[in-house]
A and B are shown apart, each in its own frame.
Chain A
Amino acid sequence: MKTLDQLPVGEEARVVRLHGQGAVKRRIMEMGLIRGTRVLVRKLAPLGDPMELTVRGYELSLRKADAALIEIE
């Protein structure tokens, strides 16, 4: 199972499934990261965390811990 936190900078993927529960999962979904959404990893913060992604035409910062909940292909 490949998750978003493993995606290197500059690469795209498609969201397959969201794991996790409650507020974090909900927030991620509300930001538009749902099944079938394309996401690009634009950059990583200096200490590797958080990640900056492009989703639906805008930029989003997401912690690696939260990105690990997002299964991709």
Chain B
Amino acid sequence: MTPITIALAGNPNSGKTTLFNLLTGANQYVGNWPGVTIEKKEGLLLGRQDILLQDLPGVYSLSPYTPEERITRDYLSLQPPDAIINVVDASNLERNLFLTTQLLELGLPVVVALNMADLVEKSGDQVDVAALSRGLGCPVLWLSALRRQGAQELAQAAIQAANQGSQAPPDCLEGPVLDAVSQVEALIQPLVPRRLLRYSAVKLLERDARAVPGTGLPEDLANQVSGVADRLEEAEQDDGESLITAARYDFIERLSRAALTRNNPGLKMSLSDRIDQVVTNRLLALPIFALVMFLMYYISVTTIGSLVTGFVNDTVFGDWVAAPLRQLLEGARVAPLVSGLVVDGVVGGVGAVLGFVPQMLVLFLLLGILEDVGYLARVAFIMDRVFRRFGLSGKSFIPMLIGSGCSVPGIMASRTIEQERDRRMTIITTSFIPCSAKMPIIALFAGAVYGNSGWVAAAAYLAGVLAVVLSGIILKKTRRFAGDPAPFVMELPAYHLPLPRNVLRAAWERGWSFIKRAGTVILLSSVVLYLLQALGVEGGRLVVVDSSEGSLLAALGRLVAPVFLPLGFGEWKATVATFTGLLAKENIVSTYGVLYGFAQVAEDGAQIWGRLAADFTGLSAASFILFNLLCVPCFASVGAIKREMNSSGWTAFALLYQTLLAYSASLLVYQLGLLIQGQAPGLYSLAALLVLAASLYLLLRPRPVGQARRAAV
């Protein structure tokens, strides 16, 4: 039996991907459409080996302007599926139907899925499905992807449609436009497959020659078609594209009058709007945003943090776990290396990180509430003007906000940015914003070196945003990235009360994920680390050393440490910590936990904080934090960057840029800080000044010549 292919098409945010996940479960293959950073998803329908589902990028129409649209229409015209499921957001019916009218012209069987049934129900609007179905000439079914209702029926209907073949599409066009289309159809009929006749004719009237499959039209035929278009435009005093778009919307309005009954026909302000009047207010918006962010970090890090972390580390791990375990092992006369491995290595390393779980949970909770309520979309709106000055659009801000939880979904969220240039730039800069894994580092140093000040977290966040903004400015002045940002046309969903169930679950999942990472990656790293710092080479033999200073790890660290001398932390422990941070940023904390014999220290009563404070000055700590915040993110994020960039060249550039930026920033902070403190200038400070000069040049130089607004994206 030959496999049937069903394509899923629809607007962005219509719930298409949720449906795809529902129908395919885990049987998905995710790759990329060739040559672009757009994800290509296929999967088998659950329970059927012979039905292939193809998820297409979210598009508003089949115009030729964005890569997503080009991919979608090329796929649908050149590699047609057997049926299309058009996912329509029923709460935005008219705009979604715009794409539907175009899909219907492709001559393929279409089944319309009215998604967001639950939202429509709540709003009190009513949709007459039968009338809609009659008007469109294809089956229309309800779907609530979120509630998992209607998916199976939808799949069945699509399979049936595929087997039955397509019906004739309704005529959404009429009058002179329809006449012109018919004329063009007659002209191109011998050259174009029957299925695509209407589609091609319409596209030609829109002056979109790329739409004709094959090598295009011979010149005289093209001229004749052009003539028809010219005459139409002359007669109607408007261009082809506008005429056809208007015709489509006329059709949609008629359909809407027949099938949709709105509960709130007036265009009046809702509660969401009144909230927004304050939140997006000219004067209040940015301060409110700053306040919200500060509160979020203050509550989780400073308040909960200082209270709970100390308790968890000293009491829970120190007294309850480490001490008894050590006694048990020593009592059983287990070799000191092994007992040390278990107590100081595993418990010390993992425990150091787990101490931060309470803070993280609170942070995740607050972040989840902000996301769920709908505030995040407002932020893009608010930041757009600011960002545009630096060459990015407000849409680039959302991945960064998500990135404050974890960089991986933040990097993936860059997909909502249409322009490839801006998307790449966002991917590169998203990880500058401190993610949840970096918070323990900040919290650790805040406690050890800065007296638990709430400003440390705020400063870190600010540094991240600054890095993003400055990167935007610098990169936008290079040829590769130059160009005006994409037109900012975006939807703002209404506010809604956060669903406690969802928020709690999301926070718990992320928290659990944090714990899992502690028990896996960090566990493994701690074991390896402990062994490396407990073993050394003396006289050509591998022995257990008295102090970690003589260990293999120290030797390795000292090899690389000089690199960090200009930055103020050129000693082996900091170097080692930085490298372990590549695996997972929390490792920096666990590494120090292991290296300072954390569990042992806790038992003795001394604090890990004390040892840390001894190793760092306020300035070198700042430099260290800065470097680790900005440099290459954890491997999982690098993986995400690689996937989203879809090019090793770009990935390499991203990583190189991040490292350079981190190094420069730390260098500047440390060296200039030293100068300000009154230290005599030296070679390194000279280097720092050079870097400063270079940076200022990159920031302030004029934009490249010839930066006109590009019409095509």
Contact = CB atoms under 8 A, between A and B. Distances in A.
Contacts of B152: none
Contacts of B711: 21-24
Nearest to B260: A57
B280 A60 contact: no
Q: Which of A35, A40, A59 is packed against the most chain B CB atoms within 10 Å?
A: A59
Which 10 pairs, one residue from A and one from B, show the smallest C-beta to C-beta distance? A22-B711, A46-B285, A47-B385, A40-B267, A23-B65, A61-B490, A29-B245, A58-B92, A56-B94, A59-B492
Given A23-B711, A26-B241, A63 B487 contact: yes
A45 B94 contact: no
B384 interface: yes
Interface in B467-502: 487-494
Nearest to B237: A17
Contact of A62 (B66, B98, B283, B489): B489
Interface in B85-103: 91-95, 98
A32 B95 contact: yes
Contact of A30 (B60, B488, B491, B493): B60
B319 interface: no
A24 B98 CA distance: 17
Contacts of A32: 94-95, 98, 249
A57 B488 contact: no
B118 to A, nearest CB: 17
Interface of B: 60-61, 63, 65-66, 91-95, 98, 241-242, 245-246, 249, 262, 267, 269, 273, 276-277, 280-286, 381-382, 384-386, 394, 487-494, 711-713
Nearest to A35: B246
A30 B61 contact: yes
9 contacts: A21-B711, A30-B61, A30-B245, A32-B95, A34-B245, A35-B242, A36-B246, A42-B269, A61-B491
B284 A61 contact: no
Given A12-B267, A43-B277, A30 B63 contact: yes
B639 to A, nearest CB: 32
Given A26-B65, A42-B273, A47 B94 contact: no
B282 A44 contact: yes
Interface of A: 10, 12, 18, 21-32, 34-38, 40, 42-50, 52, 54, 56-63, 66
A23 to B, nearest CB: 4
A32 B393 CA distance: 22
Given A23-B711, A31-B95, A46 B491 contact: no
A56 B95 contact: yes
Q: Which of A22, A26, A47 is packed against the most chain B CB atoms within 10 Å?
A: A26
A21 B711 CA distance: 8
A68 B382 CA distance: 20
A43 B280 contact: yes
A29 B242 contact: yes
Contacts of B60: 27, 30-31
A26 B246 contact: no
B288 to A, nearest CB: 9
Q: Which of A21, A47, A48 is packed against the most chain B CB atoms within 10 Å?
A: A47
Given A26-B65, A43-B276, A31 B489 contact: yes
B539 to A, nearest CB: 70
B286 A46 contact: yes
Given A26-B63, A30-B63, A57-B94, A66 B381 contact: no
Contacts of B488: 50, 61-63, 66
A48 B282 CA distance: 7
Contacts of B381: 45, 50, 52, 61
Nearest to A58: B92
Contacts of A50: 381, 384-385, 394, 488
Nearest to B492: A59
A42 B268 CA distance: 9
Contacts of A42: 269, 273, 276
Contacts of A27: 60, 65, 487, 489
Nearest to A38: B267
Contacts of B384: 45, 49-50, 61, 63
Given A26-B65, A46-B280, A66 B487 contact: yes
A47 B282 contact: yes
A35 B489 CA distance: 18
Given A45-B385, A57-B262, A18 B489 contact: no
Contact of B385 (A31, A49, A54, A58): A49
